[in-house]
Structure 1
Amino acid sequence: MDQLSSLLHGFEVLLTWHNMLLMLVGILLGIFVGVLPGLGGPNGVAILLPLTFGMEPTSAIVLLSCIYWGALFGGAITAILFNIPGEAWSVATTFDGYPMAQKGQAGEALTAAFTASFFGSIVAVVVITFLAPLVAGFAIRFGPPEFFAVYLLTFCSFIGLGREDKHKIVIALTIGFLLTQVGMDTVSGQLRMTFGSTEMLRGFDFLVAVIGLFGVGEILLTMEESFSFRGQQAKINPRVVFETWKKMPKYYMTLFRSSAIGVWLGITPGGAIAASFMGYSIAKQVARDKTGFGQGRIDGVLAPETAAHAAGTSALLPMLALGIPGSGTAAVLLGGLMVWGLQPGPLLFVEQKDFVWGLIASMYLGNIVGLIIVLATVPLFAAVLRVPFATIAPMILVSCAVGAYAVQNATFDIWLMLLFGILGYVFKKLNYPLAPLVLALVLGDKAEDAFRQAMIGARGSMWVFYSNPLVGTITTLGILLLVLPLLSDTFAKIKARRAGTHDIVPPPVSEA
């Protein structure tokens, strides 16, 4: 009941004309961001984050989170109508969404995608409502060893559970760690890797790096790929909406199963991309009639969209309760919280109740308003893709430059943004993940500080990470996740070797 009363208090904080207007603007901007293949949720939030510096924190997080919800919805529009995923997690939606649009069922496919997205998000928000305070209350017992153990668990889980090549994840993390070392050492006060440059004394600002990696990097990649936009026209009328909704109860298992997958992969660092593919794959595996997948099945749209939105929303749970982002967008929002003077973690629920519960309330209301808006504005946002990218790209680039300059009013940051943009482009061309790099940029210095504080308190003894059952359990779990790929490969080789042994046929015995 405490959670319900706190949630009602959050709605009281949220339901002001100012916050409601910001919510509406954020959702519209988010849908626009999701529709454009050159942007995306993390990019839009990163680019617009500097504009919120003068806002009150609750209003700022409402605006930015609603941009995220809108982007989650908007990615499905291009995936279904144009076979161009506006977001990476919308790739799986194209498998059946675009064939449905080609068969004249674009309205049905879009309604199914938006409704599934809404369902997955609401399930994730309910989980956040009831689990976040429990996780936060448990985490109050944390000191420097426990916090470092959690950081270690996060980094190791990215390696152990990530879908990308493990060596690429390690390289991305390492580069992020190196970048966090530039500037002043927060423990000793000494300068590190500034190479005599006064501009490097501040180090690499997280926001400048993110704007470059995501915004400029995506623009360069999109310019190279030269998208040509040819798609299906779509109108959603109430009759199509209600007819599609009548079919939904038949797919209730798909909705709940994909929601569970999404929530789990959102809380762990699996992310929305992995959730969407896993939701689609499992829906295909458990279906009684497996034919028709990839040719325009409605459950082929429901499964990835539900899982992706559940993952994207539940990724905010570890950020709020532990200060550990579960996705790239959550990492950007984590940086925003620090800029606004808030410290994510267990004490946030005690010291900033208005902020936390206002954010959770905006998740409920923002998804309801977002569902209504996307159902009403599909033709408008689909028309955006008719605008040549050569017209849109310079506008995006200027927005990135303004955002980077606004961080510290330094022209040098614009050059850094361009360098990070080139780095982001190279990463994407070589299929290196950006999320580990962003995670290391956000948490690298904090992990270092927690480790050194723990070492100082324990006089250099590494056994401090096994000094009590809590920190020992977290540390052991992190190490297990780190070696999980190695163990999996070893067991797979042993299994294959045994199978090969059993398959050997003995030579025939000669009758002579």
Structure 2
Amino acid sequence: MEELVNLFHGFAVALQPFNIAVMFIGIVLGVIIGVLPGLGGANGVAILLPLTFSMSPTSAIIMLSCIYWGALFGGAITSILFNIPGEPWSVATTFDGYPMAQQGKAGEALTAAFTSSFVGALFAVIMITLVAPLVAGFALRFGPAEKFAVYFLAFCSFIGLSKEPPFKTLAAMMIGFALAAVGLDSMTGQLRLTFGFTPMLNGFDFLIAVIGLFGIGEILLTMEDGLAFRGGKAKINLRVVLHTWKELPRYWMTSLRSCVIGCWMGITPAGATPASFMSYGIAKRVSKRGSNFGKGEIDGVIAPETAAHAAGTAALLPMLSLGVPGSPTAAVLLGGLLIWGLQPGPMLFVEQKEFVWGLIASMYLGNLAGLLVVLTCVPLFAAILRVPFSIIAPLILVLCAIGAYSVHNSTVDVMLMLMFGVIGYVLKKCDYPLAPLVLAIVLGDKAEEAFRQSLLGSQGSLGVFFSNGLVSSIMILGLIALFWSVINDGWSKLRTGVLNRAA
């Protein structure tokens, strides 16, 4: 009951005129970011984060989260109309969305995609509303050892549960740890890895690194590919929307299954992209028309879009309640909270109730606003792809430079941003994931601090990380996540051997 009262207070905060305005601005900017290949939710939030410095934390996080919702919506537009995935998680949408558009059903495909995205996000937000306070209340029992165990679980999950090669994930994470260690040691006050370079006394600013890694790195890759936009036109009228909505209840099982898959993959660090592919694959396997998938089946659009939006939204649950992001965009939002002086985690629900519940309420309103915006403005957003990329790319680069300079009003930050852009470009060319690197930059110093505090309290004994049932359970879960692929392969071989002997 208390959560319901807090949620109503959150709606009172989110429905303030200024917050409603930034909500719609964020949605429109997010859809544009989602439409433009080479950008994405994490990139857009990172590039536009400096615009929110003059806002209150509540208004700022509402705008940034709405940019994220808009990017999730926008990725479907290019996937269906142009067969160009605006986002990685929209790749699966192209399989059936683009064939539907070629058959003259672009309106039905877009309506199904947007509505399914809204349903997936709504399911995830309801879950966050019900579960986040419980998780946060439980997490109040955490000391330094338990906090380190949670960070350990997050790092191990990225390595063991990710679809990326474990070595590359670990290597990217190590680079992030090294970058997080630059500057003053929080425990001793000594300088580390500055090499006499004065601007490095405070370490690498998280925002500079993210703008370079995501924004500049993606633009360099896109420019190298020589991306050209080609596609058709699309119109959505009320008749098409109502007809599609009338058909969608027939696929309620696909939607429900995709919601569950998306929420699970969002809470774990797997993310929206694996969720969309997994949901599409299961839908194809279960459907009576599975053999026709890839030729224009509407449930081939419903499944990936529902799962992607559920995963993208659910990724905010561990960030808010534990201070551990479940996606790259959540990691960027986590960095934003730290910049505004807010510490994500269980105490956030105690000390900043208005902020937390205002954000949760804005998730409901933001996704509803996003659905209305994309249903009414598809032709306008699709027309963005008629602008030559040679014009769009310099505009994005200028935005990145302005964002980097505005952090400390320093040209050194712009140079560092370009350096990180080259690093991001090289890592992506070598197929190294950036999400673990971002996670390590954000949480590396905090994990180190919790680890050292734990050892100080236990006089150097590592047994502190297995000293009680709570910390032991989390550490064991982390080890299981780390070696999950090995455990899974061993189990499969053992099962195959038993079946062969039985035969």
Per-residue deviation, residues 95-135 of structure 1 (Å, max 9, x unmatched): 10001001110000000000000000000000000000000
What's the TM-score, normalizing by structure 2? 0.98
Take 2:279 and 2:452, find their aligned partners in 1: how far apart are those partners? 41
Describe the SS at the equivalent of 2:402: helix
Matched residue, 1:330:
330
Alignment of 1:34-433 (within 5 A): 34-433=34-433
Describe the SS at the equivalent of 1:235: coil
Take 2:102 and 2:317, find their aligned partners in 1: how far apart are those partners? 38
Matched residue, 2:13:
13
Take 2:203 and 2:159, find their aligned partners in 1: how far apart are those partners? 26
Describe the SS at the equivalent of 2:62: helix
The number of residues matched between the two structures is: 503
**Structure (1 or 2) with the larger CA radius of gyration:** 1
Per-residue deviation, residues 398-448 of structure 1 (Å, max 9, x unmatched): 100111111122211111111111111122222111110000010000000
Take 1:497 and 1:165, find their aligned partners in 2: how far apart are those partners? 27
1:218 corresponds to which letter in structure 2? Answer: E
Take 2:348 and 2:79, find their aligned partners in 1: how far apart are those partners? 38
Take 2:193 and 2:420, find their aligned partners in 1: how far apart are those partners? 18
Take 2:59 and 2:24, find their aligned partners in 1: how far apart are those partners? 12
Take 1:442 and 1:486, find their aligned partners in 2: how far apart are those partners? 28
Describe the SS at the equivalent of 2:289: coil
Deviation at 1:497, TM superposition (A): 6.7
Describe the SS at the equivalent of 2:290: coil
Take 2:501 and 2:197, find their aligned partners in 1: how far apart are those partners? 63
Take 1:242 and 1:214, find their aligned partners in 2: how far apart are those partners? 39
Deviation at 1:499, TM superposition (A): 7.7
Deviation at 1:487, TM superposition (A): 2.0
Take 1:6 and 1:95, find their aligned partners in 2: how far apart are those partners? 42
Matched residue, 1:482:
482
Describe the SS at the equivalent of 1:202: coil
Unaligned runs of 5+ in 1: 504-512
Take 2:39 and 2:127, find their aligned partners in 1: how far apart are those partners? 29
2:43 corresponds to which letter in structure 1? Answer: N
2:32 corresponds to which letter in structure 1? Answer: F
What's the TM-score, normalizing by structure 1? 0.96
Take 1:390 and 1:133, find their aligned partners in 2: how far apart are those partners? 47
Deviation at 1:51, TM superposition (A): 1.5
1:210 corresponds to which letter in structure 2? Answer: V
Describe the SS at the equivalent of 1:120: helix
Deviation at 1:496, TM superposition (A): 6.2
> Which sits farther off after the overlay, 460-469 or 252-261?
460-469
Deviation at 1:500, TM superposition (A): 8.3
Describe the SS at the equivalent of 1:204: coil
Describe the SS at the equivalent of 1:217: helix
> Which sits farther off after the overlay, 118-127 or 200-209?
200-209
Take 1:171 and 1:490, find their aligned partners in 2: how far apart are those partners? 25
Describe the SS at the equivalent of 1:77: helix
Matched residue, 2:25:
25
Take 2:426 and 2:113, find their aligned partners in 1: how far apart are those partners? 32
Describe the SS at the equivalent of 2:236: coil
Describe the SS at the equivalent of 1:141: coil
2:341 corresponds to which letter in structure 1? Answer: G
Take 1:198 and 1:502, find their aligned partners in 2: how far apart are those partners? 70
Describe the SS at the equivalent of 1:342: coil
Deviation at 1:495, TM superposition (A): 5.5
Take 1:122 and 1:360, find their aligned partners in 2: how far apart are those partners? 11
Could you say if the C-alpha distance between residues 414 and 142 of structure 1 is closer, same or farther in structure 2, counting changes exceeding 3 Å?
Answer: same
> Which sits farther off after the overlay, 175-184 or 307-316?
175-184
> Which sits farther off after the overlay, 194-203 or 208-217?
194-203
Take 1:21 and 1:96, find their aligned partners in 2: how far apart are those partners? 35
Unaligned runs of 5+ in 2: none
2:276 corresponds to which letter in structure 1? Answer: S
Take 2:212 and 2:122, find their aligned partners in 1: how far apart are those partners? 32
Matched residue, 1:459:
459
Describe the SS at the equivalent of 2:186: coil
Deviation at 1:482, TM superposition (A): 1.0
Take 1:492 and 1:317, find their aligned partners in 2: how far apart are those partners? 32
Deviation at 1:488, TM superposition (A): 2.3
Deviation at 1:481, TM superposition (A): 1.1
